[in-house]
Amino acid sequence: MGGPNLEVFKFGLYLFVPVVALLHFGDPSWYHNHVLPYKGHLFPPPDRTYSKIPTDQTAIREELARIKADKLARRMEREKELQTQSEAVAQSSKGWFKWW
């Protein structure tokens, strides 16, 4: 087992590491150079967020109907694209293998 010198070293290390980490990562220049450039990647810009949440029941139903209509339109568009792709594949392929 170690002696008192090892315990003093461990205690010093346990105090030294967090203090140095706080001094390094808490520096405002480090924050401005490393955090702020990625803020746009992590959080959406304010114009893309919807901050007016409906509170009454009719507004909630209208918003729900709008969301469902948007989903249905996207699904129909996706199915139309898949159908055109499958038709193109069916016309180009004649069997299991392209030479067959």
- Which residue, among 40, 20, 42, has the nearest Cα to 30 in the 3D structure? 20
For the chain, the straight-line distance linking the first and the last C-alpha, in angstroms and rounded, comes to 77
pLDDT digits (tens, 9 = 90+) for 4-29: 999 999 999 999 999 999 999 999 99
Rg from Cα positions in the chain: 30
State the pLDDT at residue 43.
85
Q: Which two tokens stand for residue 62?
A: 């209208």
pLDDT at 95 over 80: no
pLDDT digits (tens, 9 = 90+) for 26-52: 999 999 999 888 888 888 877 777 777
pLDDT, greater one: 23 or 95:
23
Q: What is the DSSP letter of 56?
A: S
Give 63's contacts (C-beta < 8 A, 6+ positions apart): 54
Cα–Cα distance for residue pair 8/24, rounded to 1 Å: 24
pTM strictly above 0.85: no
No. of H helices and E strands in the chain? 4, 0
